[in-house]
Amino acid sequence: MPFLSLPVTAISGTVSKLNNELLEYVNPEKPTHDHSSIYYQRFYISKFNLGDQAIEAKFSSPMNIHEGDLVTVSGYSKENTFQVLAYSNKTQQVNGNENWLIAGLGALFFLAVAVGLLNTELVIEGAWIPRLFLIGFVGVAIYMGYRAHLIREALKLIQN
């Protein structure tokens, strides 16, 4: 198994026990008098079964699936639930996934900030707070790059 890699697998089956949820986060900087939708972060969560396997998908847009659809999902198992990174609905002829390119660009951005921080006087002099920020930015860059890698692997499985 390659370094930092979860086993990404694919599962096919018929959707049963479909439950769609909407999770909204309010921006803490939202003015109290403004009820505009731009201040909300939305995550669409679909929970369903494929055979006897519990499936959970969290995307920024709703999944195009219905009860009884034949779907293939790819992702990884986490705590007895299969976490979806990409899916293909054979019944409706639709595919979906999160954008791996945006995650990869985000990783490059945080890495660039870390490199910029690495060359500051405070880090060179050994101040510990900038070093903590440096470690944080590198950690976020690694996570986002890893997530982009997992999504790409899931897409390869769906396409086959």
Residue-wise burial string across 28-65, b where 16 or more C-beta atoms lie within 10 A, e elsewhere? eeeeeeeeeeeeeeeeeebebbbeeeebbbbbeeebbb
What DSSP character marks residue 30? -
Q: How confident is the model at residue 10 (pLDDT cuts 50, 70, 90)?
A: very high
pLDDT digits (tens, 9 = 90+) for 128-152: 888 888 889 999 999 999 999 999 9
Whole-prediction pTM: 0.78
